[in-house]
Structure 1
Amino acid sequence: MNEMTPIRARKPDWLRVKAPTSVGFAETRKLMRRLNLNTVCEEAACPNIGECWTQKHATVMILGDTCTRACAFCNVKTGMPRPVDPLEPEHVAVAAGELGLEHIVITSVDRDDLPDGGAQQFVKVIEALRKNAPQTTIEILTPDFRNKADHAMEAIVEARPDVFNHNLETVPRLYPTIRPGARYYHSLRLLERVKQRDPSIFTKSGMMMGLGEGRLEVHQVMDDMRSAGIDFLTLGQYLQPTPRHAKVVDFVTPKQFASYGDIARAKGFLLVSSTPLTRSSYHAGEDFARLRAAREKQLAR
């Protein structure tokens, strides 16, 4: 090994997953290729891809495979994106139908090059799904639409996705190094405005653990999220995609994740997922059913 090659921390046993080899995995990949769709599962090197694709669950990443930002944690390539694909909304709807999805998660790269940050493409995808796959509930995981007009977010809310997710990713102190193109309070305010505009839409956000955040800082982010009316919190372990990305400062144990989960539930979130392998869209369909049930129980009191 070249002595200049950075050495990544070895994963503990609880983060080891099997390489995907199933027929379902191959079929899901073939479908995505045929429809010319990108997935965050592949682009972000998600450790759960084998499990999810075997069950024919995939998180579609719209607006291309090239991001205009360069976050220190993200494996999606950075550069000048290609023009928006006008056929993409229809292709997403076809994929949802062929996979038989009850719940779909749609995310995207950041598109700071577009006047609306790509908001209209989210709207078109939601409309195509409502028309062609009406049985499928829709969860979106959006960029922050920073420096875009308010109507970018408002247009998406008016299209009425079932879940509006935007990840805060980390604690405010780490934003300059981990998420330099974003602003913590802007992201928090985005989710607050979604809830104010349409309280019936579930709001969701998540954090990566192991980047050097302090326990009290995590508790403060939870409090900020609750003040913004966020319903669903996800906490998962950050994994370094390549030696060029931000290093893992520590591997948070399953016991510590369980403790964070207990604290978050005590703070009033409708639903919490806090495990090392938790990701924004991991088990999203099952979680949506639990989220809806939790709201119904709350309203029945």
Structure 2
Amino acid sequence: MIIQGKYQFQPELPFIPGGECAGVVEEVGAAVTRWKVGDEVIHSGGSGSFCEEIVVNELAVLPKPPALSFEAAAGITITYLTSYHALVQRANIQPGETLLVLGAAGGVGSTAVELGKALGATVIAAASSDDKLALCTELGADHVINYSNESLKDRVKELTGGAGVDVVYDPVGGDFSEPAVRSMGWNGRYLVIGFASGPIPSIPLNLTLLKGCSIVGVFWGRFTMEEPELHLANIDTLWQWFEEGKIKPVITDLFPIEEYEGAYAAMMERRAKGKVILTF
């Protein structure tokens, strides 16, 4: 969406795309104390990662989990940390609750499925094709819904015995948002993650009154600045889970940088599952 000029924050032109990367430290500034040449690290920023070398602030760098390859590590910061913050701090999801994930085979959606299971929830994964839903099943989803040919609201009602879901994780927006809100149970929490489909939805607020539910915004980038200590605690938890094998990044598409147009097309045509990674 940044490349299209549709994201809520836009870098000044010209700019280098790419929100995160993994690699090896080649040089450090004279005042740098946290890192040394040869360290394996990952970086997350608003842009600038689609290049062979990048200069960043030492505070914007994290250690690469040793258990992960560079390809896997290049795509973990934004997706996993967004989903963990959403589910734990924003939704306060509890073991035994039911979580509905829209866009469940995408970059953030797939991590929400995986983390939802790790946190003890019953996970309903919704996506646009059976192929994508097969991936969700591999990630541990308890139930799947193909919203290209099934009614989201009716299937959720069937799967929950009419009770509705406790938490909705929505990175899609558009036409799927209102049916998702209608699928919520009493005291439910609807997580606004993003608008991958393009249109920003309009939700009838009487639904929140009738269901006693909450619409909760999730802005991971600002959270890291407003609550840095809690952000670092989240990193510690997730990095431990990576080491334990409790969670594992899904990388379904690797493209050499020379084929970046193919990577972009895979996302725009909704063919991508998990993270799409460029290699150098």
- TM-score, normalization by structure 2: 0.32
Q: Could you say which structure has the higher helix fraction?
A: 1
Q: Could you say which structure has the higher strand fraction?
A: 2
- TM-score, normalization by structure 1: 0.31
